[in-house]
Amino acid sequence: MTLPGEFGGKSFLLASAAIGLSAGMTATLFYSLGSFIPSLEVEFGWSRGDISLAVTLMTLAVFVSGSAAGRLCDRYGAANVGAASLVAYALGVILLVATAGSIHLFWALYTVIALLGVGSTPIVLVRPIAAAFEKQRGLALGFALTGAGLAGFWVPQLVAGVTEVAGWRAAYLALAAIAIVTAPIVWFGFRSVAQGRRASVSDVGPAGMTAREARSTGRFWLLTVISFAMAAGLGGVVVHLVPLFRDLGADPVQAAATASLVGLSSVVGRLGIGMLLDRFPAAIVSLAVLALAAVGIGLLLVDGLAMGTVAAILLGMAAGAEIDLLAYLTALHFGQRQYGAIYGWQYSVFALGYGLSPFAMGKMRDASGDYDAALTVSALLVGLAALLMLGLRRERRPADGCREEQDAVSGKRLDRILSSRP
């Protein structure tokens, strides 16, 4: 089957990116910890709060190492870095299974695993998509990042099923095995399409800014603030939806069923918003998505149980699109020259906000006895991110970058013609 437009000949690339993102370190460890908690509580006597701190440490490690992973991707290619990181992440998980016996060692191993596996995150695995697509980049990113959303469906079920049959250690090893099997898929898939430059402009490198040049612009730091505010506002609400609904009087089944709508709507949101990004200004699409998410949080604050379904759908659309938006905006404003390093920083800041948000929201709930204050802060943060998108509304069309490259090629060809004359 031949796919239309820019998708022609790139189905293996898209599939390998989606599979890699679904089996990568952040998706599998984030979505699996909740299923591991009961077993770890029983065997070691650790508290839920202590176990959950592992995810916060993991996101801090991604924040520290994300930019370095992006630079490695720019230098050695996403195929090499992504595949190697998947294998390294798997080896780290095997080490955890073999040695974890104290909570401090558990924290340390999650930190080490994050450092080893940072190359299996969107920092690296969306790089080939951003490079290979231009006019349909938004939809392509939506397809690829759907893999990360689907991890929320299959990871908890796999971990629960394997744990019931063979124990929690076997479940960790199953995740490691999947990562190892995924590594060659990523390597071959990413090498199936030329990366970093287009065939029509083979004489010049990709257009865009260096990381140093990007850091000297106001847009870079504005996007950094947006990244953190968006993650900090959404992350805690998504994680705490089930206990929030329980506090409001929902039974466990009803609370879980309503919260699960976030995962389903995130998949739809990624594809739908990707299509919108290809047709309308990215800043306006981003503003609309975040504004609807802020409305969703407001609905939880006003009448959470009655409006829970609508709120979960609105939150899921934003939660499914935030990484897509960052990836798209980075490519749009800073180009492909050092995309990995620039996006690595933005994603790292996003991961920091997403990792700190659930912990802060839980503490605010413990202090006040309800989620009202935490929801208010979350809505304000998401609303702030939406308004700040207006500062990015002056955007260069992707075609401009291509035109610059074509001009450079034409100049080189003219030089060759002139130099070849007697």
> pLDDT digits over 381-393, tens only?
999 999 999 988 7
pLDDT in tens, 225-275: 999 999 999 888 877 777 788 788 877 667 767 766 776 777 777 778 888
3 state SS of 337: coil
Instruction: Show Cβ contacts of residue 394 under 8 Å, excluding neighbours closer than 6 positions.
Output: none
CATH architecture for the domain at 9-196? Up-down Bundle (1.20)
| pLDDT tens track, the chain, 422 positions | 445 566 767 889 999 999 999 999 988 887 787 778 778 888 998 886 788 788 888 888 988 888 888 889 888 989 999 999 999 999 999 999 999 889 999 999 999 999 999 999 888 988 888 788 877 887 888 788 788 777 877 887 788 889 889 999 999 999 999 999 999 999 999 987 665 443 333 334 567 888 889 999 999 999 999 999 999 998 888 777 777 887 888 776 677 677 667 767 777 777 788 888 888 888 888 899 899 999 999 998 887 677 888 888 888 888 767 777 888 888 888 887 888 888 888 888 988 888 788 778 878 887 888 888 989 999 999 999 999 999 887 655 443 444 344 334 334 443 443 344 43
User: What superfamily would CATH give domain 211-396?
Assistant: MFS general substrate transporter like domains (1.20.1250.20)
- The rounded distance, in Å, linking the Cα atoms of 148 and 227 is 18
Question: What φ, ψ does residue 249 adopt, rounded to 5°?
Answer: 110, 0
Instruction: Show Cβ contacts of residue 331 under 8 Å, excluding neighbours closer than 6 positions.
Output: 130, 137, 339, 343, 398
User: What is the radius of gyration, based on Cα positions, of the chain?
Assistant: 22
- The rounded distance, in Å, linking the Cα atoms of 41 and 50 is 10
Closest CA to 160 of 37, 21, 26: 37
Q: What is the domain partition of the chain in residue ranges? A: 9-196, 211-396
Beta strands in 81-179 (DSSP E): none
- The rounded distance, in Å, linking the Cα atoms of 52 and 87 is 24
Residue whose tokens read 């409006």: 307
Other CB atoms within 10 A of residue 15 CB: 16
